[in-house]
Amino acid sequence: MNAPAGKVSRAERVQHVVSPGGIAAWLVEDYAVPLVAMDLSFEGGGAQDPRGKAGAASLLAGLLDEGAGDLDSAAFQRALDDHAIRLSFSAERDEFTGHLQTLSRHADKAFELMGLALNAPRFDAEPFARVRAQLNSVLKRESTEPDSMAAQAWRRAAWPGHPYSRSARGELGEIDAVTRDDLLDLRRRMLARDMLKIAVVGAIDAATLARHLDALFAGLPAKAELTPVPEIEIQGLGQRIVVDFDVPQANIRFGRPGLARRDPDYIAGLVVNHILGGGAFTSRLWQEVREKRGLTYSVFSTLATAEHSPSFIGATSTKNERAAESLNVIEAECARLAAEGPTADELDKAKKYLVGSYALRFDTSTKIAGHLLQLQREGFDAAYLDRRNAEVEAVTLDDARRVARRLIGDAKLLVAVVGRPEGLSERAAS
């Protein structure tokens, strides 16, 4: 599908490259600057952590560039630095990602090092202990950080006993149980060609990229062996959890079930959420909670598209003595939007913002690669780059009102609060 007349097609710039070995990638050639950016992902991530060993995927991500092949950690990092190469890996909830950025003149070396990291990581004892200690340090800090504590309490109530109840980074008391053999097994099960998505942007042609794709990925297992992750609906609607913690502000997390990314109502839901809490400085929550009442510095909501349990979630923080008032306003605004829907003016402004801001996803090579990878993960073709804004513009007032009712429903929220909120007490799910 081509872009409408008079508009530049983003989709037409995307080349579908397939290597001789069958490795596929999306490529946007761009020689404006002599850079190459590659983003890749494998399905899996923290949801694949072995039971009792939450944090294995994060540890794997932290160690892939800490020595590979005949290069120990120091030598590998020195090779990256000497060629100004950025290479990193991370474990999200449902995916394991890698990012490479290099000057085009160093592309051969950059792909060589990434290939070593993926195919021949060392997992030597010293970096293993060091990276694990770094992760433990982060987890310990988060265990006394009110916002992280609220997120943890909310996750555990929303998805009890499910992999999503754990932090993608890991859990204190579990990451120390992860062994080198666990990482080798997780790498074998998760980093496989059938779950691989790749996006490349920059000063590289299709033939050169195809040659590198085989060198990078042909040696990986053909098929992943993932542990099935069950579908789960968010639990505890109407429940209020209060974690007593001696801090001057109450940190509040709230949410309920959301919309899957491929749900036909998702785009209308995106518009509705922008009106409620997604639009910085303009949303109803911002206006009612911050501007009119001065209850907080920040309040937001968002649609999170976790693969097995999409959610509508939000957060704020406020003085303990004003926590009850803040939550009452949030719940009232959710209920009002579900009952009445947005106004025509709100809908028009939200659509204009979402259409206009889409261009910001394409102002650097790194952003373009990241967005192309996201589209592949979500199951879209490149033509969606030209359809997306039209889908936003097509949302009608009737659509928005219907989807507001569907998304927010009875406005019952699962709420987790960390602090000593005055006038707020725990409440069971209703």
DSSP 289-341: IIITT---S-EEEEEE--TTS-EEEEEEEEEGGGHHHHHHHHHHHHHHHHHH-
What CATH number has the domain spanning 240-419? 3.30.830.10
Q: Which pLDDT tens digit goes with each residue over 278-292?
A: 987 899 999 999 999
SS3 258: coil
Burial 96-124 (b: 16+ CB within 10 A, else e): bbbbbbbbbebbebbbbbbbbbbbebbbe
Which residue is listed with tokens 């967005």?
371
Q: Output the CATH code of domain 12-217.
A: 3.30.830.10
Where are the CATH 3.30.830.10 domain residues in the chain? 12-217, 240-419
Rg, C-alpha atoms of the chain: 23
Eight-class DSSP state of 369: H
Q: Could you give the C-alpha distances from 418 to 162, 294, 314, in angstroms and in order?
A: 22, 20, 14
pLDDT of residue 5: 47
Tokens 């510095």: give the residue: 297
- Whole-number Å distance between alpha carbons of 359 and 341: 28
Distance CA 327, CA 317 (A): 10
Residue 3 is predicted with a pLDDT of 55
Tens-level pLDDT at each residue, the chain (430 residues): 445 545 789 999 999 999 999 999 999 999 999 999 999 999 999 999 999 999 999 999 999 999 999 999 999 999 999 999 999 999 999 999 999 999 999 999 999 999 999 999 999 999 999 999 999 999 999 999 999 999 999 999 999 999 999 998 999 989 999 999 999 999 999 999 999 999 999 999 999 999 999 999 999 999 999 999 999 999 999 999 999 999 999 999 999 999 999 999 999 999 999 999 998 789 999 999 999 999 999 999 999 999 999 999 999 999 999 999 999 999 999 999 999 999 999 999 999 999 999 999 999 999 999 999 999 999 999 999 999 999 999 999 999 999 999 999 999 999 999 999 999 999 999 8
For 335-338, the CB contacts below 8 A with 24+ separation are 335/408, 335/411, 337/272, 337/275, 337/276, 337/284, 337/404, 337/408, 338/404, 338/405, 338/407, 338/408, 338/409, 338/410, 338/411
Q: Are 35 and 105 a contacting pair, CB within 8 Å?
A: no
What is residue 168's predicted lDDT score, i.e. its pLDDT?
87
- Residues 342-351 as b/e (b if ≥16 CB within 10 A, e otherwise) read beeebbebbb
DSSP 415: E
pLDDT value at residue 56: 98
Query: What would the pLDDT profile of 85-144 be if each residue is shown by its tens digit?
Result: 999 999 999 999 999 999 999 999 999 999 999 999 999 999 999 999 999 999 999 999
For strands 311-319 and 414-419, give the pairing: unpaired
Q: Could you tell me which of 318, 329, 253, 322 has the C-alpha nearest to residue 289?
A: 329
| pTM of the complete model beyond 0.85 | yes
- Round to whole Å and give the CA distance between 23 and 28: 16
Q: What are phi and psi of 160, to 5 degrees?
A: -60, 130
**Type of residue numbered 421:** P
Which residues have a Cβ under 8 Å from the Cβ of 52 and sit 6 or more positions away?
174, 177
pLDDT of residue 144: 96
